[in-house]
Amino acid sequence: MSAAAARTATLLAALITAAALAAAEPQPLRLTVAEAIVTALARNRDLRVQRIQPAIVATDEDIERAAFDPTVDAEVSIGRTHERVRDGADTFHARVETRHASIGLRQDLPTGTALSVQASTTLDRAQAGGDAATSSVGLTVSQALLRGLGPAANLARVRQARLEHGISLYELRGYTSALVASVEDAYWSHAVAVSRVGIVRESLALAERSRDEVRGHIEVGTLAAIELHAAEAELAWRREDAIAARAQAATTRLRLLDLVEPEARSPLTLMVELGDEAGEAQPLDDVDQHVAVALRLRPELDQARLRLRQGDLALVETRNGLLPRLDLFATLGGSGYADSFSGTLDQEGGGAHDLTVGLRLRHALGNRAAEAVHRRATLGRAQSDAAIANLERLVELDVRLAHVAASESAELIAASAATVSFQQAKLDAETEKLRVGTSTSLAVAQAQRDLVASRLGAAETRVRHRRDLAALHRADGSLLARRGIDAPGAQPGD
């Protein structure tokens, strides 16, 4: 093989190896705020668990409705009786075989009406011969006149279970809102950490240039050698700050990945590239508008209102429980007797018809348990009413505090930008004065520190404003709607 061919083969092998290494390296995760939120909502494991809870709670309504499902009772039995029969001086053994079958259907209605149909037949077969068959059919209607009268009391538990399902939906909405807020907070925390790394890196390079300039002035004799100590100290401080900034960025990256990539094989090794910047201040609505929205949309308030409605239903149920049980019932039946089952169905074979109408009363003397339950429901209703008033006050306080914080950070953005401009001018002036020998390296180092602090403060203020906005929108309950997220419990008080 010629030398040229060998070099070509070596170059080709190097290119293949480099391409393989590049393909093997994990690609960085590029995220905007919206992408981070969508990814977290799709992959967050805790949210998956929370999503199942409303479906579990919804089964309680079916359980309560089952009280009004029709029921069927059926029975089949075979019995045998042995007895000793004395007939004058003679004694003999008699054996009777009894076969019995019955079936019944019962339906309870929310109106307090109970319907039941019962049919049965019995065939007695004696050893000595001769069969006796009896069949009967009966219809019973019972209507509650006091306790248990009407759908309001009988459907109270069903409606309470339905409200409990609505409460679980608001709980899911509140959890989802908290998750979205956590993702945004983690995103912007990493954004400010990345900004700090860049700013500190630039300040480190600036400190190195300043140190080199001081050395140059010392060599030409325009500065004393002692000035180098301040420049070296400033450079060492910048290196410490750079180490701390990289550690903070790594920490915030891991926390962000834990929220948006919980199922990745190696989430801790992924690098993150952020696609959004904090930007400038956003306009704010009037605080009273935010308060009005919060009183309408906050999931905690909607949960409390549904609890209050549950308390109203409990009062209806317990008030009904104070009444005595008084039922009007009517039973219509018919029976037939013959020597065979088919004969009992023959209308000409003889039989009987009966009709019974009456009242049934049952009441516990003192009725202590029912009165205690009703008293507890009354106190619980009053407690829920007071809790809602207190919660509305706390919600208003949350919104107003969040609005103050968002307003402050919005104003600080412009102020911090002006501070950066002034600190840059101050550093330029001190640097120029150092060149002409009218300043010191310590003054230049202090000006550099002030500039770095102002740039960090400006970056943190912009990010803080985005976080304050998210906190405000979460406080007024509009965070999910503003992010275009449709979550259960979107209709207040429903």
Confidence at residue 115, expressed as pLDDT on a 0 to 100 scale: 94
Amino acid 468: pLDDT: 92
pLDDT range class, residue 22, cuts 50, 70, 90: very low
pLDDT at residue 293, rounded to an integer: 92
User: For residue range 348-368, what is the model confidence (pLDDT) as tens digits?
Assistant: 555 678 888 999 888 888 888
Does 444 score more than 90 pLDDT?
Answer: no
Partners of residue 354 on adjacent β-strands:
333
Nearest to 319 by CA among 376, 264, 265: 376
The 10 Å Cβ neighbour count of residue 264 is: 14
Nearest to 179 by CA among 396, 464, 474: 474
- pLDDT digit string, tens, across residues 222-257: 777 887 887 788 788 888 888 998 999 999 998 998
pLDDT at 14 over 70: no
Residue 7 token pair: 């070099």
Whole-number pLDDT of residue 317:
87
CA dihedral of 231, 235, 240, 246, whole degrees rounded to 10: 150
Distance CA 459, CA 261 (A): 26
* Stated pTM of the model: 0.77
pLDDT band at 343 (very low <50, low <70, confident <90, very high): low
Give the architecture (CATH level 2) of 28-63+157-314+372-482: Up-down Bundle (1.20)
pLDDT confidence of residue 265? 56
Nearest CA to 376 among 317, 335, 439?
Answer: 317
Pairing of strands 29-31, 351-362: unpaired
CA separation for the pair 125, 131 (Å, rounded): 5
pLDDT tens digits, 170-195: 999 999 999 999 999 999 999 989 98
CA 281 to chain CA centroid, nearest Å: 31
Helices (H), 80-222: 151-154, 156-220
The pair of structure tokens assigned to 138 is: 């009966």
Q: Is residue 331 within 8 Å of residue 118, measured between CB atoms?
A: no
What pLDDT, in 10s, does the model give residues 82-100?
777 666 666 666 677 888 8
Q: How many whole angstroms separate alpha carbon 267 and alpha carbon 164?
A: 38
Measured distance CA(135)–CA(425) in Å, rounded:
111
- Give the mean model confidence (pLDDT) for residues 209-215: 80
With pLDDT > 70 as the criterion, what percentage of the chain qualifies?
A: 85
Residue 18, pLDDT > 50, answer no
Distance between CA atoms of 287 and 457, rounded to whole angstroms?
Answer: 26
**β-pairing, 29-31 with 272-274?**
parallel
